[in-house]
Chains A and B, each alone.
Chain A
Amino acid sequence: MSLALLETSFRQDGAYAFATGQIRALEAKLLDGAKYQRLLDAPDAIEAWRALAEVGYTKATEVRLDHYEQALQSELRELYDLVRRLTVRPRETDWLAQRYDFHHLKVYLKAKLLGEEPGEGVVPGVGLVPPKLIETAVQTEIWSALPEALAHAGERAFREYQTTKQAQTLDVVLDTELFALIQREVSGHPYLETLVALWTDLLNLKTLLRAKLLHRERGFVERALLPAGMLEKSKLLKLFESAVETWAEELRHTEYGELIGRSLRAWEEQQSLALLEKLSDDLVVNYLKRAKLALYGVEPLVAYALAKEIELKNIRMILIGKLNGLSKEAIAERLRVSYV
């Protein structure tokens, strides 16, 4: 997939020289194609779990396979401890962890308002705010205990839900608030600004495609689209009005033509948008890879954190696939591209 249209420039920052050195060494330990293949070749989940220890996850695999979710969550916590340790100015990376705060807020709001179980959607020790604190704020509707941005988002989502009574309101409000926060935090870092614009576009395209396929009305899409992506809102709305078959053609001059085309073909064949999710992640990883060109700065740290998150997602997919008896080809199809 071509990313040729995206410009990349880095804000060279010598304060991150040590961090970048450590990240370069850690990048070498990320799973590459051959290591993923070893996991895939394992005949069952238990063997895959053993193979995971051989490819570097020695600590995680100390527990039994039954506890794989906790082990992967603990890897994620370690990743965020590393990010906090290596960051020079916390503001530059805090937004990574704040994504989890917003996620937790969403989970607890949905639990309260829609009766959904929080389940394993909550990962303590990763975000900036303890999930318990968020849960209490949601339960009591007293938002002042939360940091300002989170409190504002929670209060607004809660209030707007009361008027619309639609679950999507929670998603839309919280995503909008989160992206606005991230955009503020990364401003001045061209590489990260493009990353966030890429995320915004991908999220908007997913919203648009789902809405189109589920025959939602234009008003819903208008409310749900996030501002400030590379694709303008007016262009997206125009796209929404046109037949879905023309979308890939309409977007051929952007990064997303192929992604939409392939996702639509998959939808026709399997009635599933799983490929869209995979291709979106692949596009992001391929963009993240550019941080390998940065001499030093916050960019390699952010790119590593996000690449590692995707790696953990891949491992989870392999384990779940193996536990459910999927063939290795079926699992491999879903795996996100490797950062290395």
Chain B
Amino acid sequence: MQEAAEAATVLGLSGQAWAFLGAAVAYGMAGIGSAIGIGIAGRVANGVLAEDPNKFGSLLLLTALPGTQGFYGFITAFMILFVFIGKAAVAMSGFMMFAASLPIAIAGFLSAIYQGMVCAAGAGMIAKRPEEVGKAIVLGVFVETYAVLGLIASILLLLAI
């Protein structure tokens, strides 16, 4: 264990390389998820707008909701690169940073896609019942919880290094 912690590389990569990889994965995965999620919600919202442009206000909120995961991934990447990068001098710490990036990468990626679906269904609902926009957003926010938990888990893991 002592030897592994002091090794110059883990699985052939230096601590910094692992940290970079962690930052890239955190933002990359969460960002892709957000793009897909917004893509799903946005296309349905566009369809509704084609018929009823007045609903832009409520649809904007719903379409933007799956975008938050990308921000969470970005925050994690930022923290790795600008706050914790010093610790990556030790290869194992760098590797742990990579591990710490995974919760937001995975939870962000998947939750953004599923949130996009909930928001797409919400956009369909608003098309018929514009007064229920609050409920559509609340249901979308339920999915958000798990992206937030992913971000918190990633931050806690980074703090534990």
Contacts and interface: CB of A to CB of B under 8 A. Distances in A.
Given A295-B117, A295-B120, A295-B121, A24 B40 contact: no
Contact of B44 (A26, A296, A340): A296
A25 B44 contact: no
Residue of B45, B48, B55, B121 with highest tally of chain A CB at under 10 A: B48
A18 B47 CA distance: 4
Interface stretch (B27-35, B71-79, B122-130): B122-130
Main secondary structure of the interface of A (DSSP, over half): helix
Interface in B98-155: 117, 120-121, 123-125, 127-128
B46 interface: yes
Interface in A22-59: 22-28
Given A26-B51, A296-B120, A21 B46 contact: yes
B11 interface: no
Given A22-B48, A295-B121, A27 B43 contact: no
A6 to B, nearest CB: 22
B6 interface: no
Given A26-B51, A295-B117, A21 B40 contact: no
A17 B49 CA distance: 13
A23 B47 CA distance: 8
B48 A24 contact: yes
Interface string B39-59: 010011111111110010000
A23 B40 CA distance: 16
A21 B123 contact: yes
A280 interface: no
A19 B124 CA distance: 11
Nearest to A292: B124
Residue of B44, B46, B52, B125 with highest tally of chain A CB at under 10 A: B44
Contact of B50 (A14, A22, A27, A296): A22
A1 to B, nearest CB: 23
A328 to B, nearest CB: 27
B130 to A, nearest CB: 9
A20 interface: yes
A24 B47 contact: yes
Interface string B7-42: 000000000000000000000000000000000100
B37 to A, nearest CB: 12
A26 B43 CA distance: 16
Contacts of B45: 21
A135 to B, nearest CB: 36
A14 B45 CA distance: 13
A24 B50 contact: no
Contact of B127 (A17, A19, A25, A295): A25
A17 B128 contact: no
Contacts of A21: 43-50, 120, 123-124, 127
Contacts of A295: 117, 120-121, 124
B47 A20 contact: yes
Interface in B42-96: 43-52, 55
A310 to B, nearest CB: 18
12 contacts: A17-B40, A17-B44, A21-B43, A21-B47, A21-B48, A21-B120, A25-B55, A28-B127, A295-B117, A295-B124, A296-B120, A340-B128
Given A20-B47, A21-B123, 7 more contacts: A18-B44, A18-B47, A21-B43, A22-B51, A24-B123, A295-B124, A340-B128
Interface of A: 14, 17-28, 295-296, 340
Which 8 pairs between the two chains have the least Cβ-Cβ distance? A21-B47, A25-B51, A17-B43, A22-B47, A24-B127, A21-B44, A24-B124, A25-B127
